[in-house]
Amino acid sequence: MSRYLLRRLAFAIVTLLAVVTVTFFLVRLAPGGPFDGERRLPPDVEANLRAAYDLDQPVVVQYGRYLARLARGDLGPSFRQKDFSVNELIAMGLPISVGIGLAALSLALLLGVAGGTFAGLSRDGPRDRMLVLGATLGLALPPIVVAPVLVLVFAVTLGWFPAGGYATAKHFVLPAVTLALPYAAAFMRLTRGSVAEVLQRPHVVTARAKGLGPLRLVTRHVLPSALMPVVSFLGPAAAALLAGSMVIEEVFSLPGLGRYFVQGALNRDYTLVTGAVIVYAALVLAFNLLVDLGYARLDPRIRHA
Amino acid sequence: MREALLGSPLARVCCAVLALVALAAVIGPWLSPWAFDAVDWDAIDVAPSAAHWFGTDGVGRDLLVRTLTGARVSIAIAIAATLVSCLIGIPWGATAGYLGGPTDMTMMRVVDGLYALPFILLVILLVVLFGRNIVLLFVALGAVSWLDLARIVRGQTLAAKNEAYVEAARAMGVGTPGILARHIVPNVMGPAMVYATLTVPGVIIAESFLSFLGLGVQEPQTSWGVLIADGAREMRSSPWQLIFPASMLAMTLFALSVLADRLRDALDVRRPSARQALRRA
């Protein structure tokens, strides 16, 4: 167990380090700098600014200093928003992104597993066909289509929910639903397939032959094995959810991590962009690690491989 | 493959929809009396009518011809990006599969590592930092969508490399690059090309999102993403500006993904298809 864990951890750390390195050098390769403005700064002011942010040093030295600070959990000062450190900016944006992400993930799991079980139990029946068509639709439609249409219907026409902003819980309903739909569809497909497959297994056939009621049969015998693929999909789903939440934040103008990232990239705020990418990547890698661990607990064959 | 594309009523409808969209995109702008950037001063921001079937936008440009021109741009970028992903994914997968051993492991570990990252970040970074032009857009999109393809090609290569003709080539002294280029790649090309078509919807979605953010296609040139972004801003007063481009994009993506699922099943690629669909988001 511990060797498996260590190997996964080492892989995650190497990946994260690669991400840090690529992003760090990529933003510095690009034409244009953080202090380009409408007005040219006086040369000595610019020199002082560059010195304050270590930009006068060779890139390798900058990289070394950045890594040293990063090791202490410090993402540095923001280049463009003078009074804020990147840590502070990310601390403001992250709760919004994570909140929408978690709400969407729970909604997607609930809808997906319920719909998938239902469809898998009545495979190839009319209800199953409807659900499968719905799932294809949910997967095919991108948020940039779904979000404006939901706003048009539920905010502009019906007036049930606000169209943007983040003041109350009501503001989060449309973003969370938009984000959840494709994942609900994905979970539904996975659950449907594995429920239909588990129904054929001997232990389920036996339990059925013994006259077990449908509810007990599903909750005690079918779902525990049928949910394995759903668990393994949680990792990639969380990764895609984070990236997807960036789309949602733009569409619904929510000041989450994604907006800081886009804004930072547009302003050439080197430290903010690098910081946002690192936080994204670290979250995704951590989630994958957790899923690997959970999987290893559930399946002894992986643990001892 | 024929069965996958034409085997059910739904699949036939989807093929017809795609053919119609493609046809309309190719000849529609040419048949229309309006140019995509021509302003009709007598019809600014008007609802659908006999003169303008889809209505006009806020500066009086015909929305039908703009939607079809947008289709041209979106589809062309998707195809170009898919070609780029083939150029990376096919050699990568074939090399890893053919060489095997530690090389294979390292190369596939790189793919695993890349799978774990939210890619749209990297594309945004590239597009913002290195200028907003169409060439960079499809190169960047192609450069991040080759992972699935590399896996498929590696799998096919593992099967092909033990065939007698490969062994014969090796016995006759053909070097590794020669075997890869002349014997392996041509033989894995069929499934690889089918699989490559499956990445098209993903690229269309990514392109429309970037254009939606204002990072992709620039005015006066247009694409589905640009039109939907404009329409979303005007949806309170002129909902048709959102509804027509959005339903066109939705219809195309739906048809593409129905066919993609059927093709994937026909090829029996054993991976959760939901996972791929999500990587597009």
- Residue B275, pLDDT > 60, answer no
Please tell me which residue, A51 or B142, carries the higher pLDDT value: B142
Using CB atoms within 10 Å of the CB of residue B77, give its burial: 0 to 12 exposed, 13 to 18 middle, 19+ buried. Answer: buried
Q: How confident is the model at residue B37, as a pLDDT?
A: 74
Indicate yes or no: CB of B281 within 8 angstroms of CB of A142. Answer: yes
Q: How confident is the model at residue A298, as a pLDDT?
A: 64
Q: CA-nearest residue of chain B to A12?
A: B113
Across the interface, which of B128, B253, B275 has its CB nearest the CB of A142? B253
pLDDT in tens, B85-137: 999 989 898 888 888 888 888 888 888 777 766 677 777 777 777 777 778 87
Q: CA-nearest residue of chain B to A235?
A: B116
Indicate yes or no: CB of B250 within 8 angstroms of CB of A145. Answer: yes
Percent of chain A whose pLDDT exceeds 90: 1
- Residue A242, pLDDT > 80, answer no
Angle at A186 between CA A182 and CA A188, to 5 degrees: 115
> How far is it, in rounded angstroms, from Cα A199 to Cα A203?
9
Q: How confident is the model at residue B279, as a pLDDT?
A: 46
Please tell me which residue, B2 or B8, carries the higher pLDDT value: B8
- Residue B276 to chain A, least CA–CA distance (Å): 10
pLDDT in tens, A263-275: 887 777 878 888 8
Across the interface, which of B117, B131, B272 has its CB nearest the CB of A233? B272
Indicate the pTM of the whole model.
Answer: 0.78
- Residues in chain A with CB shorter than 8 Å from the CB of B115 are 236
Q: How confident is the model at residue B118, as a pLDDT?
A: 67
Cα B89 to Cα A263, B172, B278, B279, distances in angstroms: 32, 28, 19, 16
In contact, B36 and B65? CB cutoff 8 Å:
yes
- Residue A61, pLDDT > 80, answer yes
Q: CA-nearest residue of chain B to A289?
A: B116
Please tell me which residue, A191 or B273, carries the higher pLDDT value: A191
- Residues in chain A with CB shorter than 8 Å from the CB of B121 are 243, 246, 261, 276-277, 280
Q: What rounded mean pLDDT belongs to chain B? A: 79
- Residue B232 to chain A, least CA–CA distance (Å): 6
pLDDT in tens, A82-118: 778 888 888 888 888 888 888 888 899 999 888 888 8
- Residues in chain A with CB shorter than 8 Å from the CB of B131 are 31
Indicate yes or no: CB of A280 within 8 angstroms of CB of B242. Answer: no
Per-domain residue ranges of chain A:
96-265
Closest CA to B92 of B150, B146, B144: B150
- Residue B273, pLDDT > 70, answer no
pLDDT in tens, A106-150: 899 999 888 888 888 787 778 888 888 888 888 888 888 888 888
pLDDT in tens, A220-230: 777 877 777 78
Cβ-based neighbours of A28, under 8 Å, separated by 6 or more: A59, A62, A270
Cβ-based neighbours of A298, under 8 Å, separated by 6 or more: A228, A231
Confidence of residue A37 (pLDDT cuts 50, 70, 90): low
In contact, A244 and A143? CB cutoff 8 Å:
yes
In contact, B44 and B60? CB cutoff 8 Å:
yes
**CATH of segment(s) A96-265:** 1.10.3720.10
Peptide bond into B220 cis (omega under 30): yes
What ipTM, to 2 d.p.?
0.73
> How far is it, in rounded angstroms, from Cα A172 to Cα A97?
11
- Residue A265 to chain B, least CA–CA distance (Å): 6
Return the SS3 of B56: strand
- Residue A249, pLDDT > 70, answer yes
pLDDT in tens, B209-234: 888 777 777 777 888 888 888 877 77
